[in-house]
A and B are shown apart, each in its own frame.
Chain A
Amino acid sequence: MASRLLSGMQLDAPLFHVLHARGVLTAKDVLCKPELELMELLDLPLSLIREAIAQISLFTCPPYRSALTVMEERESELGFGHLRTHLQDIDSALLGGIPFGALTEVVGPAGFGKTQLCLMLCVITALPKEHDGLDGNVIYFDTERKFHSGRMAEMAVSRFPHFFTDGDNLKKLATSVLVYHPHSLDEFVNSLQGVEEVIIENKVKMLIVDSIAALMPSENAQEDLSRKQNVLGHQAGTLKYLAEAFRIPIVVTNQVRMTSNQRSLEDPELQLTAALGTSWAHSVNIRLILESLSGQRFIKVAKSPMSAITLHPYKVTSMGLELIGGEDYGQGGDVMRIRFDDLDANEDEDMEV
């Protein structure tokens, strides 16, 4: 990473001493400065600076692999590097499930089952490998205090009745989920720094943040906005690094907001968009949208580097989320927009637990 020290990079001793004396200690200190600025700072000729930059680049640049090697690595992983969600059509759309090493986002209005989906993924991750699980622990950042162990157990028993027959396996499941309650954004950011240790020590195979939007201060001033984008981008970078370094799937949930243009008053269909803006939408590798059309709820694979935009009708039951047959090709388009037109239906069946 960027903080790598220059001391191990076989630089010439005199050069290294000059760098050291000027407080230039890491690869980042050298590479994230324009050449001319370095020249001024170190008082060395440009040719020498260029040589040093080349040498440091050589050590900082990660090694390459051929795509074939990458594929062989995937083949050695469980499920070709995917976690099966047990929602069959979603699994086939994502070529096997939620991929390791990537950032998957679930976005949808309150009460549509985002947390339910997360709880379901906890159960699946904790399952032994012969049941298509990962046999690992889960880190669960619960920012909205919605994590519910009882609901998770209920889901586990009704979905896998043959496995969760006695209290032992249920207890094992419950102990495999490490729940954290960050109170503020700073607390969350700080805990992400130290999370590597927890991942290694606890055999963690999955990281969930439910939800990332709740941590963000409400968007108002322009100044706030740029700071927020900065923090978000940094988090996305850290999460993606963790996902890739430990080859685990990372799932975050996101909320919805009313769009800022007030045209929705005349528009019969309410205009909802995903929170956190376009920059964040770029950052996630996969976006699943939970939305509703004429009273029917759909999971939409809205952004994914490996699948079509598809709509899958679903309902929330005791087993968690369940797909109810049929799939439809999505109308393409906007990954920001969330369709929501079952306000009436919402009154009949409240899915919130």
Chain B
Amino acid sequence: MDVSGVWPFPLSLRSKLAAAGYSTLASLQNVSPSALARDIQVSQGEALRILKTLRGIDDAPTCSSTSSSLLSSAKTAWDLLCIEKTRKRISTSCAELDSLLGGGICLQEVTEICGAPGIGKTQFGMQLAINVQIPKEADGIGGSAVYIDTEGSFMVERALQMAQACVARLCSVDGLSFNSEDSFNVDTFLSKIYYFRICDSTEQIAIVNQLEKFLEEHKEVKLVVIDSVTFHFRHGFEDMALRTRLLSSMGQKLMRLSELFEVAVVLVNQVTTKFTGGISKLVPALGESWSHACTNRLILYWENNQRHAYMFKSPSLPSVSAPFSVTQEGICGVDYSKRPRRL
């Protein structure tokens, strides 16, 4: 059926279209602007205008509309910069570490923390689980935390100490008033840490699969800690290629969740000894391909009997290192004036 007679175009254009065989809406449906411009010899801008006008008449979905859902979601670099500036971060309680991290552990990103045994990786995870709950009035996020413990190292009495210190710190800040005492105490802090104890690699895969549903039901969760992602994957896998595939699929799922639910995902990784040219050195475990699973990688190490953190990988931040301490109150900056009580 020739409907070109009712199209809102000048006669010259209509005849050009007809001459090129474009006389029905259907015939124009799968034509790209550049092809149309060539066929009827108009500029590409003109061709696009024609197609857009016709799309307005015809409400039926065209093939380009499926791809345009992605294209229309584009953000300019300026938009991204503005979002970046308002991005929320979880403070680590240590000023040096926070500046190393550009203000704290970023929501919507996957951050990996690795380091030698006993360096304080678990302390880091526990501290973040407390700090994510600092209310908005105190420049915090006011969220809650999911703590996935694969190693059995989460000690509730230690979390209690950190929560007590955090409450004390917040109460000492002037100009902050909390409307009711009971909404803000140590017990609430602990009740907002959702603790999963994972006993093997299958359970670990299951919890990551399940996490989407859990986060949907608990929108207030702003932090997911997996301590550690490594333990159950360091044994029981004869097929290393399979292990790599399972791990990278897990990494992809976590990255998707972090963006979808605006949560910070913190993965604790172990280190392994690698022999290169007869020299042994400690490198993050789980191999090369796993290094792509995280956006940021923070390495913790000892130097001159002082704990340090090194920004090993980050898309936006420089690779520098910063000292930190672990005290009874939790993670904090190094106090050189008095000998800190190290943990």
With beta carbons under 8 angstroms apart, the residue of A69, A234, A329, A336 that contacts B235 is A234
A94-128 interface with B by 8 A CB criterion: 95-96, 99, 101-103
Interface of B (DSSP majority class): mixed
Interface stretch among B17-25, B70-78, B186-194, B312-320? B186-194
Pick the most buried of B191, B328, B339, B342: most chain A CB atoms within 10 A of its CB. Answer: B342
Is A2 positioned at the interface, with any CB of B under 8 Å from its CB?
Answer: yes
Task: State the Cβ distance, A339 to closest chain B Cβ, in Å.
Answer: 14
Alpha-carbon distance between A323 and B156 when the two chains are bound, in angstroms:
27
A71 within 8 A of B: yes
Q: Residues of B contacting A285 with CB < 8 Å?
A: 151-153
Task: Among A95, A103, A279, A335, point to the contact of B118 (Cβ < 8 A).
Answer: A335
B196 CB within 8 Å of chain A: yes
Contacting A229 at CB < 8 Å: which of B117, B155, B231, B234? B234
Say how far A349's CB is from chain B's closest CB, in angstroms. 30
Tell me the bound Cα distance from A287 to B118 in angstroms: 9
Q: Are the C-beta atoms of B272 and A31 separated by less than 8 Å?
A: no
Whether B200 and A334, one on each chain, are in contact in the complex, defined by CB atoms closer than 8 angstroms, is no
Q: Which of A164-172, A207-215, A236-244 contacts B (4 or more CB under 8 A)?
A: A236-244
Chain A interface residue bracket vs B: 35 or more
Measured CB to CB, the nearest residue on chain B to A261 is B280
Contact of B191 among A67, A260, A277 (CB under 8 A): A67
A95–B198 touching, CB < 8 Å: no
Question: What's the least CB distance linking B77 to chain A, in Å?
Answer: 35
Residues of B within 8 A of A303 (CB): 117-118
- Nearest A residue to B218, CB-CB: A64
Beyond A62-B197, A306-B158, is A27–B305 a contact (Cβ under 8 Å)?
no
Residues A307 and B209 in contact, CB atoms below 8 Å apart? no
User: How long is the Cα–Cα vector from A221 to B145 in the complex, in angstroms?
Assistant: 44
Contact B190 A68 (CB under 8 A): yes
Q: What per-residue 1/0 map shows which CB atoms of A207-236 lie under 8 Å from chain B?
A: 000000000000000000000011111101
CA distance A79 to B202 in the complex (A): 33
A240→B150 CA distance, assembly (Å): 10
**B210 at interface (Cβ–Cβ under 8 A)?**
yes
8 A Cβ contacts from B212-238 to A: 213-214, 228, 230-232, 234-236
With A and B bound together, what is the CA distance between A188 and B242 in angstroms? 28
Question: For residue B271, which residues in chain A have a CB less than 8 angstroms away from its CB?
Answer: 278, 282
A332 partner, pick from B161, B231, B305, beta carbons under 8 A: B305
| B123 interface contact, C-beta 8 A | yes
Q: Which of B161, B272, B342 meets A329, CB within 8 Å?
A: B342
B147 touches A53 (CB 8 A): no
**Smallest beta-carbon distance B160→chain A, Å:** 7
From A34, A61, A287, A335, B210 is in contact (CB under 8 Å) with A61
For the complex of A and B, the 8 pairs showing the least CB-CB separation, nearest first, are A233-B235, A303-B118, A2-B202, A57-B209, A60-B206, A67-B193, A68-B191, A68-B190
